[in-house]
């Protein structure tokens, strides 16, 4: 999971899939705004070469491409000194120039870019950056398109380097900080014991447990607008809409600014939710460390849930056809998340059959390894 470059250790931060999604979104948004205009893309070397390559592949329209080289970094700290090293030879008069930057932090390079293009007679100058650090940006300069707003952490990969290394890594890593958080998605079909285990693990590892099912039930009990909305889905065993669920999840996470980590239980349940969670965590410099999945077969679980239904009072626990519908929702919408996390190297399967303490042990062993 971790990598070492020179003397420093880095941990996974933003996955290839999430980067690809943002690059595509940016290219699509720009095309929509430029309509039939033919832009000249200018990539800022070295860092933006991978981003520029992927961006223009996603740009569905005629365009030209050039590169220019500035240098602003030495090691991990911004030097504040920016020099133009390589210029461009094209005549820019009347052109729509689109700058492709990998990262904007202090804004020194961006200022240089604005100065360089000031007297070139361009028709329009647009700035696209994949990463932006709002907390350190000191300039009053426009950035037209922003991929990820991230905190002031040092990142490598996808073209960005630490002292020359790391540009070839396809995803983004961040410099490992002491006491880094552990964020876990506890996963599994209905009745697998996620809630039970999450309650035990949160105490053991001092994590915040967020169960979207519990939050919905709390809202239903208190008859809030959210609760009334969620109830219509939940009573049938259907999933609540992504929009509502994601918004609620964000609000829950925001309640714990000092958390040492989170156990997400019952979230994400769709690929859109997983993607939204990754984006949202990236904004906070956080990431999911692992998806730990409790594995168990459906028939065992249906009888477990019916048993629970006798005492839990949950409407969706008492009727076999509603329970089967929850499994159907799980198989079609949620189970594909296994590969979403497996692609990121974060999937960990754990046998979910056995007694509670035994399963807690199995899960704990995996969490300790993170
Ligand atoms: P749970 O307690 O996790 O079994 O969730 C119970 C019900 O709450 C589900 O069947 C859904 O109707 C709803 N729910 C909980 N979490 C989510 C989610 N992440 N997305 C959509 N619906 C959810």
Domains, the chain, with CATH or none: 3-175 (3.40.50.2020), 184-369 (3.40.50.300)
Report the distance separating Cα 352 and Cα 364, nearest Å. 13
Alpha carbon of 239 to ligand 1 centroid (Å): 6
Instruction: Return d(Cα 367, Cα 353) in angstroms, integer.
Output: 18
pLDDT reported for residue 236:
92
Ligand 1 midpoint to CA 170 (Å):
33
Neighbour-count burial of 162, counting CB atoms closer than 10 A to its CB (0-12 exposed, 13-18 middle, 19+ buried): buried
The closest-lying atom of ligand 1 relative to the alpha carbon of residue 267 is 19
Beta-bridge partners for 9: 4
Give per-residue pLDDT as tens, 62-104: 999 999 887 555 555 555 554 555 677 788 999 999 999 999 9
Mean pLDDT of the chain: 93
Residue 202 annotated to the active site = no
In contact, 292 and 364? CB cutoff 8 Å: no
Residue 293: C-alpha distances to residues 6, 204, 347 (Å)? 35, 18, 7
The span from the CA of 186 to the CA of 263, in Å, is: 7
Which candidate in 194, 217, 322, 346 is catalytic?
194
CA of 212 from ligand 1 middle (Å) equals: 6
**pTM summary value:** 0.88
pLDDT in tens, 18-36: 999 999 999 999 999 999 9
Ligand 1 mutation pick, 235, 269, 326, max ligand atoms within 8 A of CB: 269
């Amino acid at each position: 999971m971790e990598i070492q470059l020179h003397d420093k250790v880095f941990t996974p931060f933003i996955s290839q899939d999430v980067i690809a999604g943002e690059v595509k979104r940016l290219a699509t948004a720009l095309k929509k705004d430029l309509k039939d205009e033919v832009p000249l893309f200018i990539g800022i070397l070295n860092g933006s070469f991978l981003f520029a390559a992927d961006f223009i592949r996603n740009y569905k329209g005629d365009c030209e491409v050039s590169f220019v080289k500035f240098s602003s970094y030495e090691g991990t700290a911004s030097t504040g000194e920016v020099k133009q090293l390589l210029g461009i030879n094209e005549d820019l008069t009347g052109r729509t120039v689109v700058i492709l930057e990998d990262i904007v932090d202090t804004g020194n390079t961006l200022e240089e870019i604005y100065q360089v293009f000031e007297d070139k007679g361009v028709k329009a100058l647009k700035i696209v950056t994949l990463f932006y650090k709002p907390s350190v940006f000191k300039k009053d300069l426009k950035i037209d398109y922003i991929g990820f707003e991230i905190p002031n952490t040092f990142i490598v990969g996808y073209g960005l380097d630490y002292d020359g290394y790391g540009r070839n890594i396809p995803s983004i890593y961040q410099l490992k900080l002491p006491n880094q958080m552990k964020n876990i998605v506890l996963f599994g079909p209905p009745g697998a014991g996620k809630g039970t285990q999450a309650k035990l693990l949160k105490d053991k590892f001092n994590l915040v447990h967020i169960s979207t099912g519990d939050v919905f039930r709390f809202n239903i009990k208190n008859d809030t607008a959210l609760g009334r909305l969620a109830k219509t889905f939940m009573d049938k065993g259907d999933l609540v809409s992504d929009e509502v669920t994601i918004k609620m999840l964000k609000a829950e996470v925001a309640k714990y600014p000092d958390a040492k980590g989170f156990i997400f239980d019952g979230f994400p349940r769709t690929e859109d939710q997983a993607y939204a969670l990754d984006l949202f965590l990236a904004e906070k410099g956080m990431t999911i460390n692992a998806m730990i999945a409790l594995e168990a077969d459906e028939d065992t679980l249906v009888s477990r849930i019916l048993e629970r239904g006798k005492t839990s009072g949950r409407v969706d626990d008492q009727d076999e056809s509603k329970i089967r519908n929850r499994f159907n929702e799980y198989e079609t919408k949620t189970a594909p998340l296994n590969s979403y996390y497996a692609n990121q190297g974060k999937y960990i399967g754990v046998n979910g059959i056995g007694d509670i303490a035994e399963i807690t042990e199995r899960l704990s062993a995996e969490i300790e390894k993170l």
